[in-house]
Amino acid sequence: MRDQIKRSALLLSSLLFSVGNGASAQDLDALIAERADAVEPKVIAWRRDIHQHPELSNREFRTAELVAEHLRALGLEVETEVAYTGVVATLVGGRPGPVVALRADMDALPVTEEVDLPFRSQVRSTYNGQEVGVMHACGHDTHVAILMGAAEVLTSMRDQIPGTIKFIFQPAEEGAPPEEGGGARMMVDQGVLDEPDVEAIFGLHISQSYAVGEVGFRSLGMMASAERFDVHVHGSQTHAARPWAGVDPIVVSSQIVLGLQTVISRQTDITRAPAVVTVGTIDGGVRNNIIPDSTTMTGTIRTFDPDMRASIHERIQRTVTNIAESAGASAEVVIYPGVPVTFNDAELTRQMAPTLERLYGADKVFESPRITGAEDFSFYQEEVPGFFFFIGGRPVSVPAEEAIPNHSPRFYIDEEALLPAVRAMTTLAVDYLQAAM
């Protein structure tokens, strides 16, 4: 963590103060609301266009071109092809001040859309060698449109901004092809938070977990780290009628699966934070009467605490290797780096929460439950203080029990959520910068 830029002290003063040019926070809220209202039709049009033309991770060529063209038209300094297809623009305000970043993710999923919309996706592509439908089943189309709208609003009030704002349009949040890499990690590696150095970053995600007009977030660990693990078990091949003549890796694998359940249920203090270890695949053998030489298992680890994550890694290694050795087999565990915990900086969260309460109403702002899904916004949060929050996309007329989960082919959002989200991203940036004065 770059301690020199963790300047939470800049946020110790109230966000509801007068700015240097005499305009009050209420005046700025009114100006932002007016400019956001004006851009709303564009935001809806951008969202529908992007939804109709979804692109998979690291292939967001059309989306990136649309974004870059818009940002250049605003007169911003624009950098393209960051982490393959990422777009970054910098807005230098009318007065000196700190640097804040706003981020949106651009990629879609290999999902065939089942929502009957006039702008529904008909796109087909190739994923892992298979022909698939492509859909914005996680709402990234709305994230892009919201940030495009926020960029226009903020650019229109450049003179009132004391500092600099970076707009980060990121590819491959859903996961880049393994041989390519990408996403937030590559954006960070390529210096997206540097020159000028970003001091705080904000991001949002739309979800039907909340109704339109509602917001959810929590301090510290909000979304889990997500790590893939592979287990390779080596036995000794033999005839299935003579199992004693070899070592059966299928039976050993079965014992390992059961043993791994105790890593959480019996070896981890889950009063600190929840954790999950799941085996998702087992592959081994080619014929019913042959005990194979080896098997391979894959799974996922989800944690909310970095220390617990390290402990769970150690316990998985020990459990797997000891069970295999007890049966005369051998096993190797590979745990891939994955995605860190989405960790909202406590001081930044405390100071920025009033902004969302002011915009949405205190009764519409909720503490989010911990979410075992993952979000690579966490890579930015490992470098600078970050604040990530959820906005409601479910129509207010639809009960919570009928919410459609993200990644479903039936996922949809109510476009009434877009305008308040533009105001939220815009106002978070302005409030943060004004607090530094």
Q: pLDDT of 313-335, one tens digit each?
A: 999 999 999 999 999 999 999 99
- In this structure, the answer to whether residues 356 and 289 fall within a common structural domain is no
Strand order in the sheet with 225-234: 275-283, 294-303, 225-234, 330-335
Per-residue model confidence (pLDDT) at position 23? 62
Q: Is residue 27 located within the same domain as residue 154?
A: yes
231 and 351 both lie in a single domain: no
Question: Quick one: 312 and 353 in the same domain?
Answer: no
> Are residue 356 and residue 380 in the same domain, yes or no?
yes
Q: Residue 314 is part of a domain; what is its CATH number? A: 3.30.70.360
Same domain, 292 and 254: yes
pLDDT of residue 319: 98
Closest to 96 (Cα-Cα) out of 166, 21, 162, 7:
162
Residues in the chain, pLDDT under 50: 1-22
Contacts 24+ apart (CB under 8 A), 14-18: 14/435, 15/351, 15/352, 15/354, 15/355, 15/431, 15/434, 15/435, 16/354, 16/358, 17/434, 17/435
Q: First CA to last CA across the chain, in angstroms? A: 24
pLDDT of residue 27: 87
Domain of residue 294, residue span: 225-335
pLDDT in tens, 53-97: 999 999 999 999 999 999 999 999 999 999 999 999 999 999 999
Its pTM stands at 0.89
The confidence score (pLDDT) of residue 16 equals 36
pLDDT in the model for residue 8:
39
Partnered with residue 277 across adjacent β-strands are 301
If asked whether residues 83 and 140 sit together in one domain, one would say yes
**287 in the same domain as 235:** yes
Output the pLDDT for position 360: 98
Whether 161 and 234 share a structural domain: no
